[in-house]
Structure 1
Amino acid sequence: MNLLKECAEVRRRGSARLAGLPCAGILLLMVPLLPAQMTNAKDQDLRARIKAALFVPQPLPALDVQNYGSFAVGPGVIAERVTYATEYGLRVPAIVYRPEKIRGKIPGLLVVNGHGADKTSWYSWYTGVEYAQAGAMVVTYDPIGEGERNDDHKDGVGEHDKLIDVPGVPQRMGGQMMTDVLQAVSYLASRREVDARRIGVLGFSMGSFVVSLAGAVDPRIHAVLLTGGGDLDGPGGYWDSSHAVMCQSGPYHALEFLGDRGAVLFALQANRGPTFIINGTNDTVVAIPQHGPDFFADLRKRTIAELGSDKNVFTTWFDPGASHRPAWVTKLAATWLDENLHFANWKTKQIAELPTIRIGEWAAKDDVILNKSAQREDRDAGLVAIDVGVPKLTPEQLSVLPMAEWEKHKNDFVYSVWARDAIADAEKDKQQLNGPASRPDGK
């Protein structure tokens, strides 16, 4: 059986996760995994296969950065409005926070939001201002289907969660979200102020899942901090069963060829650099009561076995009584980030002495609206964040394009265009895989 016939046979017998995959991708997945310890060649092979399974474009698109001005955010921080290119010819709107005065090279950080959040969510701009004060450049952006990438320019609607029941499209959604991250890393690396060896990525909730994949395939990322997630389990578990088919269970099923997905992904992460995972012991959103210290200890053990070393294998911290919240605004997170990225303005001793504030108190003081679940003490409101005097920022301030220009160019950004093109790609792959229909005479 030649390779193309074998590919077609795999496709005919295969699972839904292969249904939308072109033969090139299936053939790549059919290559047997290498045994035992990770090698550079194995890393490259696995990373290529993950990207193929999730339709991450190779090479990545040219950035084509466009600038839309800047504004001051309190003392010593500048926010820039930019867009950069991503998959399907679309663009990502981003707010980039940086110190007003920069001496030498500084680290870069990227914020990857949870479900329903975008660059206008409180923790996006709080993180941007906090770590710009620390001496980093911080990128925050709208995920597909939110904010300026929403067809109605709305926040918090989860437009990307609409199930598209076309084989291969959920995998493409996972790949789109990964590509947005990889392009933001490219953007940070392109900035002359940023030390490209000191780039870190922060992922919360859905973002923790996206960063678990993106960090595994991109060795340009030095440090990864996950919160509200990172508990990559096995067949039929939380991530396979997630109701969020488009951005979680669909893409995760597509990686079954890895075998022990959690261990392999975190081994790839370790070969990239350090990873820190923070979870609340009562975080039922991502099943931490079932995936507590024992779960992570076992996952760590399996990762070390896969890697053949404990170097850079993830470490964890559990916040007693806490639920689902973006814990990277805390002193604990800032200290870890400084140890691994070396902030320009803060050092560990200084971080320990900085003032703090409960997010609920900060929100009340500055008239920042937290959603109903975030108002709980075990959620966002109870977070003890570093207090750097972060001001309230409005959606208008955090819009990259003026509304009239956005209306004119919305098809460069919005979810519906992505959905149209992703469906067309999946259907095209299906037609190519099945081939032309046979004539009755066999010719």
Structure 2
Amino acid sequence: MRWADLAGKRVAVWGFGREGRAALDALARRLPGQGVDIYLGADEAEAARAAYPHARVHATPPDTAALARYDVVIKSPGISAYKPELLGAQAAGTRFTSGTALWFGGHTGARTIAVTGTKGKSTTSAFLAHLARSLGVRTALAGNIGLPLLELDDGDAALWVIELSSFQTGEAMGVDLGVVTSLYEEHLDWHGSRERYVDDKLKLLCASARVLVNGMQPALVERAASHPGLHMFGDAAGWHVADGWIRRGDDDVIRADRVAAPGLHNAINACAALAALELMGLDARAAAPALATFVPLPHRLQPLGVRDGLRWVNDSISTTPLASLAALEAVHDEHVALIVGGHDRGLDWSVFVQAMRQQGCDAIICQGANGTRIADQLEAAGISNVYRAIDVASAVGAARRVLNGRGTVVLSPGAPSFDQFKDYADRGRRFAEMAGFEADAASIQGLGIR
């Protein structure tokens, strides 16, 4: 959808987070004088009225009848496209769009790499921007990583690196290269089923002239096999990791342990970024040494430092059991306390439980809304080093007691944060504070155009 499609129409913005505010600001710039209604939470109404005095503010969730009054509704990503009230209004003729769709509609000539995946999409996107900039390419880094595209609506970049969540992949269009880093089960509460999640995530394939997918995932390769512009990373013919090296085919390019972000999975993410650069016609080999100067993203296996004899690692971004396993594999210490649990989306923890029967750590501390369910499954499998805690704060206390001044505390919840916190970043900052660090020690570097 293009901005011109909104001119003179009955328009509403649904959601007042950063995406919603970016849409309101862009609407004012693009279509000055255009009327707009805002739907938001009661606690946001006062701020909305002060910031957008000409808008009509509704401090209650819209139902089907309310949404059907509009020609176009600009929806924030976190609002499911499968909500009954949305589907009802859609059937009545209301069109739904988003900041992502409007940006793509207004930037049809932009050179774009769109990155998605259950895990690895943020780090891969940040790697891409960092490596392209090391080659002197003016690069934008935006999207789901923490900077709405519409905040850069007037920006000028030679290359746009755009992270897309599964909520946004169906809104992209005209993408030069679509990258899929991985595909597991996630966000079932938004999509309604695993099948729909996979279908929605892979809508990026249809929006992209060429696609780059993880060759280590046969099911993903099979789903992408019919795309005429299919390429892979992770396979021996291309960019992959082997014997401690990042390789291009048979050639050793850079040692994997020189990548500033720790863990094998991040070396694989680096391969995705290098392969994407190569496909865009850039010199990936020349860029590879810059992997050593990359600043790891916060909340993603972020080493916070040492307090009271303990190392603290913030992996708050972890929202699947497999991500918790990857975090544990990346931490090299004889003594580890792993904190898991949070908002319960009904994900299957059986693979995690089975892995814990072979993979040792001093304590698995289960907390949050699904903590009891995880602990029950672990204990039923005969695992004895299971501890139960009400919330993250009490889990941190338990970790201190168990480790007694030696080892590493890892927050890798494998679940969303909404049972206790606003989002994963809020959870990570609060964890840092509980460990004795400054909350603002974690901020994403490299966002925007540079």
Shorter chain as denominator, the TM-score bin is under 0.3
Larger strand percent: 2
TM-score by length of 2: 0.28
Larger helix percent: 1
TM-score by length of 1: 0.28
